[in-house]
Structure 1
Amino acid sequence: MSMQSLLRFFLGLCAALATGAAMAAAPGQFVIDKGWSFRLAPGNAQLDTHPEAAAWRAAAVPGTVHGDLFANKLIPDPYVGAPEAALQWIGLADWEYRTRFDAPRSAMSAARSDLVFAGLDTFAEVWLNGEKLLDANNAFRTWRVPVQGKLRARDNALRIVLRSPIAKLLPQVQAMPNKIAGNYPSPYGDEPKDAMTGNFARKPGYHYGWDWGPRYVTAGIWKPVVLESWDALRIDDLQLRQDRVEEARADIAAIVTVDAVREGAQEVRLWQTAPDGKRSLAAQRRVELRAGANRIELPVRIERPQRWFPAGYGAQPLYRYEVELGGVKAGARTGLRKVELRRDADDKGKSFYFAVNGIPVFAKGANSIPFDMFQPRVSKAKLRRVLESARDANMNMVRSWGGGYYESDEFFDLADELGLMVWQDFMFGGGMQPAYDDAFRANVVAEARDQVRRLRNHPSIVLWCGNNEEEIAWKYWGHGKTLKEADPAFADKVWKGYVQLFGTDLRKVVAEEGGGIAYWSSSPGDDLAEVANTPASGDMHYWEVWGNPAHPPSKYLEITPRFMSEYGLQAWPVQRTIDAFAKRSEQGIASPVIEAHQKFLAGKGNERLMKYVDYEFGETRDFADFVYLGQAAQAEGIELAALHHRASRPFTMGSLYWQLNDVWPGASWSSVDWFGRWKALHFHARRFYAPVAVAALRTPEGRTSVSLLNDRTRPLKGELRLRVMSLDGKLLRDERTPVELAPLSAARVAAYQDADLLGQADPAATVAVFELKAEGEPASRRVVYFKAAKDLRWPEPALRASLRRDGKHYVVDLQAATLARGVWVDFGDLDAEVADNALTLLPQERVSLRVSSKAGLAALRKALKLRSVADLLAAPASAKRASQALPAAWLRLDALSAGRRRAGVTPP
């Protein structure tokens, strides 16, 4: 499917989902999702250059203005080619949306009617039948407006004007004598680089551009618009607060919030549906309601509860509760578990780890970012594909990062079902916020209450965190220092506002609304201790590998944190994904389209990635090799870090790499690309996050430490095998040792100097292979190399493959005559998923991999391609370079990089 076809499919799917919502609306709810149209608002300055947007055209609600412009063929595909610069006018424009609807008969006769806007992005004026109802200013809040007496039986006119956040905020930002720090300045001139507006708006920060995504400052009615009507009462919320969850008993409180039209007595019933489907009456009593807001608390005791566990620690049983009151029903689902963030003091500082049902859990996972630049296009199927990929890679946690939006109910439903714990940031991605402003802070507190109440029943949520990287930016990146030098009084006011919002206000919201889940003020941090981002205490982000000064991945072995919540290496996605946005003729390391999809360091990301490829593999001959070796460098580097973190248990208790997914197709730190295709990193993650694994980690000084990792809650017996062999298969040493693995442990069992392993063998032609086999667990293998891949004496590659049908699936049989590192099985443009990839095969090893595809056997055989590191490195470099004519842009940049290396200059 082409990129354009896929985007149209997503737009159609959103419309279908919206229609489905109307069909499935609860009694008293009328979803207003039909008949919408949009236009560039009259009088807007952008009309002079874009008159084509002046006419009314069909719109999708929920949706975004970029989606509507694309659906109406007024703009090109925002992801294909390099259209970004030419589309910045959209974020500078005001947009008008309208529809007309007939009110349901029940709404006309109801005692109460509200228009409910679940998501308006962002500065929105709402008009009904010519009367202004609302000035909204927060994309993350739900806006509820009473409309009884304002509705007509037929032909109600609903109009929403969305103001440009840049145009609205820029005058006040420019008027500031000293400005607070923003995030990413626009390279396109749509706002001044010294007056960034994004951190003053309560809208997704990534819309303003990030180092993995484009700048599309969109607007829209991004969640449903619903007319709610009722005569007697409305159940506003059902909270399932877990007061006590133990193996023998669980005590919960079902807290019902009710808006009653008038006072009176009512019977309330609470029904429980257990994970096995058995339904029973859990609580019942008569209550006296007063007119207005009411709070009813119903205690529930569950004997021998079926408890919810993270993936890898047990099952994820879910209980459903339904409350009935005055003929009105409301339901909620939860999993019963006890979650603690433990901060135990020791001689180094304080621990940072999560205990679930009393089990200390080593958090294994990644950071998630938004799943698309335009949220309404994200389907549940897409969420399921990526989150199942996380679970399938043995992850048990995702950190939902703070520069996007609060994820949908479907995201958290899936996390509940899959056993993925969620570290949830509030939506602050970086820079500094105007929290010294009382109105701004009050707006955020209202947002936080909305979101915590919406999400608090999900057992997957284990932490609420105030923001991403704002504290360390102020303390260590120069943000605070610069402002203190320019205006000490204002700097003090800014910091006090920060402490008030993130130290007090949001902490209070979580304490009051969060049902006992912990709050953490900033990541990385130590909850507002003087020193942040320290290995001794709290969580840590580490970016001196990849970021400046761009240490080699071996530096990861020197950093041992309590909990590593960010670290990463970049790579391009697979070739098929690149082909979706760039023609083959446009694919070169310095070509305009490729650079448009490389967002790190203003177009210098490919130089940085080339540096990391060169650390291990040397120079590359063409763009395809650059992509392949970039993925290998990413996978191997992150594997080194993750295994070091796991081997450092219990001092280190979490490893979340940056990042799980993508907002669009391009270069990034993700392990799963925008289409849901796995990079080499994700296949590696499934192995290095395996519950039982061996970590054999070699330092640049030539010392290898071997640790056995067991995340199971039971002890295991097994065998550790050490083989030393040549690259072409000559066995030099073979030792087998019985081992016992304690539960929930990492145990260092051996340490070697290179000479201990090599003896007299050639380090350029020899490897050490450590393999752990434990009862009931897949074997875990780690290959130790004694030199960088570019310095090894690779034999000629000798990989063979055959493809056969096996029932509903295919099987590819692989065999390697010599050691094959980074074997990648590819089927080109065909839809085919391989069960495993990015493999290392030992000499004479045979592996059979399942292949899922609708293509025929003959087509798959024709398309099948294999590559390994030896394919690129076995032949002399001069021969490789002579084998293919290179694009001029590649040659220029390759020569520039080589010259810098010779001169000892590190690319920025």
Structure 2
Amino acid sequence: MDQPLLEGGAMSPRRLFRVLLGLCVGLCLALATQLAAAAAPDGFIIDQGWSFRLLPESAQAAAHPEAAPWLPATVPGTVHTDLFANKLVPDPYMGAPEAGLQWIGLADWEYRTRFDAPRAALSSARSDLVFEGLDTFAEVWLNGEKLLESDNAFRTWRVKVEGRLRAHGNELRIVLRSPIAKLLPRVQAMPHKLAGNYPSPYGDEPKEAMTGNFARKPGYHYGWDWGPRYVTTGIWKRVVLQSWDALRIGDLQLRQDRVDAARADLVAVASLDAVRAGTFSLRLWQTAPGGKRSLAAQQRVILRAGANRVELPVRVAHPQRWFPNGYGAQPLYRYELDVGEGERILARTGARTGLRKVELRRDPDARGRSFYFVVNGIPIFAKGANSIPFDMFQPRVSKAQLRRVLQSAADANMNMLRSWGGGYYESEDFFDLADELGLMVWQDFMFGGGMQPAYDAAFRANVVLEARDQVRRLRNHPSIVLWCGNNEEEIAWKYWGHGKTMKAADAAFADRVWQGYVQLFGADLRQVVAEEGGGIAYWASSPGDDLLDVANTPAGGDMHYWEVWGNPAHPVTKYLEITPRFMSEYGLQAWPVQRTVDAFAARGEQGVATPVIEAHQKFMAGKGNERLMKYVKEEFGEPGDFADFIYLSQAMQAEGIELAALHHRASRPFTMGSLYWQLNDVWPGASWSSIDWFGRWKALHFHARRFYAPVAVAALRDAAGKTTVSLVNDRTRAVQGELRLRIMRLDGTLLRDERKPVALAPLSAAQAALYADADLLGQADPASTVAVFELRTKGEPLSRKVVYFKAAKDIAWPAAALEARLSRAGDGYALALRAEQFARAVWVDFGDIDAVLSDNALTLLPGERVSLRVRSPASLADLRRALRLRSLENVITGRAKTTAAFTKTR
């Protein structure tokens, strides 16, 4: 206890110390708060007290009176998620509610809130209301005064509000119009309609007059072949009130003019909005990857009232350079800019980047032109996948969700993601994670398909402003290595009949449409990237050859290949006949794991043709499950039940994509990229993804970690029975190792065993052998014999590829006799597996228990033992009870599907 006051009111030394300490802390906190308020880039975020309703005069109001009252809303958010939160609609993902929810996209909605203005907003010289994302046709009112009409979900809208704010009770009201109802009269009035993407099966808009490609909003909202049709609307990003007296920092670009091992020459380009002319001081602080902070540049400048642009040169000696995953570390530098007047800091902002040099190489050769990326002088073989939106309703995507999927991509040895153009420009969280994980990003502008009305100058001007917003927002991220104009619009016009049909109907209008396309994607967006992108390359369309006459060609540019899976649905061995410069799309479907299917469909609702399952199968170029069954049957035969169908679809997908990806890698340096379709899911359902909506890995993702390994063997057997063996090395150093070939029967009888030393040059792929079936089999039975190729190298995981001589359904499978032992190991568990005889596509499952395995989708040789790590909150006893093992021979032969023999834990 403190001593009492001394005589005369004096304090004890101990209490005096505490009071003085408290005053110091209070003053420091007050000063810090003042500085933070002056520097805060966010301002006052208006995210509380929102409500919404169906607009009374909306055409849908009479049919849906339940949505007429004012109801609580979440901002950022969407109308679909607000309706669901208020229990007015069912969960849009569970069961098959899609048809009954199409009225939402036809309705007009109203949002409102009240807020008290911060004192700074009332006293400052300038205040802006900033709408970071309004989806899409919005009318904004403040205190009864109309501020804004927006028409682009991808733009930031900024409105001056000084003099319009009250101290208390400001009313902000936003009316959001149905994009379908807004655009349909205009589209229907066109004598010749532009080709759209996927027509609605629900009658909410006519199939011959699709509106999606006229709206600057996420295209996938209108439905895609991996997700539902929910044409949502909403205030999908933050609403912020920003106030300032002297100036505002609009942007800080960290332009990298030169980066090499010796030095990095940067220019910090500050965009400043000054209320008045004056002399100001700029100080740029650098925090190096190790945490050391230093003054990188300073400058006194005279600013004029209005917009100003100031450049501060920065030199970094011996920079720690940023490398893609697998090629080095990802050190990141942080820069903070202070703008002051005298000793007073008026504004502050910061940005983070990685120092690297990125080039897109287009070198001519005898067969066309190359297409590959060079980072810090290293030619990179791009390994990865296409990413799509992470949810139908973007505001509920969490950073934890993004981290789980992007970490999974890096864990699978990926170094590139193509952020596809039919969704939205991803969040800062997405790009921050890509920076940290070394995942290069090929960034599409948001044009996913169908022809755009780019002949309309106002439409193009709107897109250019969108592009400037987004390039400026994202350009400091070292992960971005390419900006691409659109997805598949050029080939749709040239090869899918869109252009031919339009020319036949109205040749003059067709020419106008194409010239508008060339202007937007060949000139306007290219200019934006040249002016704003800091030296990153631009590409007009994917697939394409940057507007050359022929697109989607192996000779140059990038390719999408869909003749496997898509029409005409060739066998997967057709992948071996297509050797592109850069394969940016190809894919095979599969269902997610049983637990994910169980989340939206009861077991009694599960079947190849049941309504709920068909509602979550969105392949629109045919009957999705029929197409999937075709590929399953070709290799594995008829599934016994829906659970078998799930399992076999994953095995087919994994083995087919592995064949293609290894062919691409073995074709280096002619081929320099392999990005399969697709990484993730937008909801739980059948799709081409390797990671489902819950973040669970399909068999494909486990395979991807192996076929994308830096050092790998590719033993690829084609339809004619010819096996080409290639050795691939993505390391920047030479690798020595041993290549082993074993010919064995499925019971383990060894017929041949050969080993030879091999040397792999840096950054290379080289053919090691070529075999006809007879060269490998001799007189052995192709139905009971396999060829096992293994590459062992120091410091790298074993790479194995098994060659089969018959389709799996025609192989004489012996009983694998799988054994398993689960025991505690550290803070997790160890699962020891053994196969008495050959076991293909072994899948380990724990049912409804949360469990993460270090590996899965395995092929075990006769007598082989493997040990897997298991992380789970469940007990050992519960895990043992839930453990199920499934292998291909179980499913094809109909033998027991749950073989599991355990040895007690010591």
What's the TM-score bracket when you normalise by the shorter of the two chains?
A: over 0.9
CA drift of 1:28 comes to 7.2
C-alpha contact 1:595 1:603 (8 A) present in aligned 2: no
Query: Any residues of structure 2 matched to 1:6-25 within 5 Å, and which?
Result: none
1:775 lines up with 2:789 in the alignment: no
Q: What is the aligned counterpart of 1:211 among 197, 216, 225?
A: 225
AA at the equivalent of 2:150: A
1:416 maps to 435
Q: Distance in 2 between matches of 1:626 and 1:261?
A: 66
2:728 maps to 709
Q: What is the aligned counterpart of 2:456 among 437, 447, 458?
A: 437
1:221 maps to 235
1:404 lines up with 2:423 in the alignment: yes
1:16 maps to none
AA at the equivalent of 1:195: A
AA at the equivalent of 1:165: P
Q: Distance in 2 between matches of 1:726 and 1:436?
A: 65
1:748 lines up with 2:767 in the alignment: yes
2:257 maps to 243
C-alpha contact 2:823 2:876 (8 A) present in aligned 1: yes
Q: Distance in 1 between matches of 2:816 and 2:381?
A: 39
AA at the equivalent of 1:143: W
Q: Distance in 2 between matches of 1:283 and 1:261?
A: 24
2:397 maps to 378
2:96 maps to 82
- Give the match's secondary structure for 2:129: strand
2:197 maps to 183
C-alpha contact 1:795 1:870 (8 A) present in aligned 2: yes
Q: Relative to structure 1, is the Cα distance of residues 320 and 27 closer, same or farther in structure 2, using a 3 angstrom cutoff?
A: closer
1:349 lines up with 2:368 in the alignment: yes
Q: Relative to structure 1, is the Cα distance of residues 777 and 96 closer, same or farther in structure 2, using a 3 angstrom cutoff?
A: same
AA at the equivalent of 1:543: W
CA drift of 1:43 comes to 1.0
AA at the equivalent of 1:752: Y
- Give the match's secondary structure for 2:351: strand
C-alpha contact 2:284 2:297 (8 A) present in aligned 1: yes
Q: Distance in 2 between matches of 1:72 and 1:176?
A: 40
C-alpha contact 1:647 1:708 (8 A) present in aligned 2: yes
Query: Any residues of structure 2 matched to 1:36-435 within 5 Å, and which?
Result: 36-326=50-340, 327=345, 328-435=347-454
1:617 maps to 636
C-alpha contact 2:423 2:448 (8 A) present in aligned 1: yes
Identity among equivalent pairs (%) = 80
1:503 maps to 522
2:32 maps to none
- Give the match's secondary structure for 2:117: coil
C-alpha contact 1:182 1:432 (8 A) present in aligned 2: yes
Query: Any residues of structure 2 matched to 1:739-888 within 5 Å, and which?
Result: 739-875=758-894
- Give the match's secondary structure for 2:529: helix
C-alpha contact 2:41 2:348 (8 A) present in aligned 1: no
Q: Distance in 2 between matches of 1:606 and 1:23?
A: 57
AA at the equivalent of 1:142: T
Q: Distance in 1 between matches of 2:800 and 2:40?
A: 53
C-alpha contact 2:42 2:240 (8 A) present in aligned 1: no
Larger radius of gyration: 2
1:546 lines up with 2:565 in the alignment: yes
Q: Relative to structure 1, is the Cα distance of residues 46 and 312 closer, same or farther in structure 2, using a 3 angstrom cutoff?
A: same
2:653 maps to 634
C-alpha contact 1:380 1:410 (8 A) present in aligned 2: yes
CA offset digits 1:503-552 (Å, max 9, x no partner): 00000000000000000000000000000000010000000000000001
CA drift of 1:26 comes to 2.2
Q: Distance in 2 between matches of 1:202 and 1:288?
A: 39
AA at the equivalent of 2:134: L
Q: Distance in 1 between matches of 2:218 and 2:740?
A: 50
C-alpha contact 1:308 1:318 (8 A) present in aligned 2: yes
AA at the equivalent of 1:305: P
CA offset digits 1:49-84 (Å, max 9, x no partner): 100000000000000000000000000000000000
- Give the match's secondary structure for 2:364: coil
Q: What is the aligned counterpart of 2:738 among 719, 728, 748?
A: 719
CA drift of 1:601 comes to 2.3
AA at the equivalent of 1:776: G
Q: What is the aligned counterpart of 1:596 among 615, 620, 624?
A: 615
Q: Distance in 2 between matches of 1:707 and 1:384?
A: 34
AA at the equivalent of 1:530: D
1:649 lines up with 2:663 in the alignment: no
CA drift of 1:603 comes to 6.8
- Give the match's secondary structure for 1:212: coil
- Give the match's secondary structure for 1:45: coil
Q: Distance in 2 between matches of 1:173 and 1:409?
A: 35
C-alpha contact 1:796 1:875 (8 A) present in aligned 2: no
C-alpha contact 1:525 1:532 (8 A) present in aligned 2: yes
C-alpha contact 1:25 1:31 (8 A) present in aligned 2: no
Q: Relative to structure 1, is the Cα distance of residues 683 and 374 closer, same or farther in structure 2, using a 3 angstrom cutoff?
A: same
- Give the match's secondary structure for 2:60: helix
- Give the match's secondary structure for 1:625: helix
TM-score of the pair, normalised by structure 2: 0.94
- Give the match's secondary structure for 2:714: strand
Unaligned runs of 5+ in 1: 1-21, 881-908
- Give the match's secondary structure for 1:554: helix
TM-score of the pair, normalised by structure 1: 0.94
Q: Distance in 2 between matches of 1:652 and 1:674?
A: 31
Q: Distance in 2 between matches of 1:738 and 1:254?
A: 52
CA drift of 1:458 comes to 0.2
Q: Distance in 2 between matches of 1:873 and 1:105?
A: 73
CA drift of 1:807 comes to 1.4
CA offset digits 1:609-660 (Å, max 9, x no partner): 0000011101111000000000000000000000000000000000000000
Number of aligned residue pairs: 857
Q: Distance in 1 between matches of 2:792 and 2:419?
A: 34
Q: Relative to structure 1, is the Cα distance of residues 95 and 315 closer, same or farther in structure 2, using a 3 angstrom cutoff?
A: same
C-alpha contact 1:466 1:506 (8 A) present in aligned 2: yes
1:4 maps to none
CA drift of 1:867 comes to 0.3
- Give the match's secondary structure for 1:49: coil
CA offset digits 1:352-388 (Å, max 9, x no partner): 0000001000000000000000000000000000000
Q: Distance in 1 between matches of 2:42 and 2:268?
A: 23
AA at the equivalent of 1:734: D
CA drift of 1:44 comes to 1.0
Q: Relative to structure 1, is the Cα distance of residues 792 and 161 closer, same or farther in structure 2, using a 3 angstrom cutoff?
A: same
- Give the match's secondary structure for 2:703: helix
CA drift of 1:874 comes to 3.1
CA drift of 1:27 comes to 6.7
CA drift of 1:797 comes to 2.6
Q: Distance in 1 between matches of 2:161 and 2:634?
A: 65
C-alpha contact 2:38 2:348 (8 A) present in aligned 1: no
- Give the match's secondary structure for 1:483: helix
Unaligned runs of 5+ in 2: 1-35, 898-906
CA offset digits 1:8-50 (Å, max 9, x no partner): xxxxxxxxxxxxxx99992771000000000000111111110
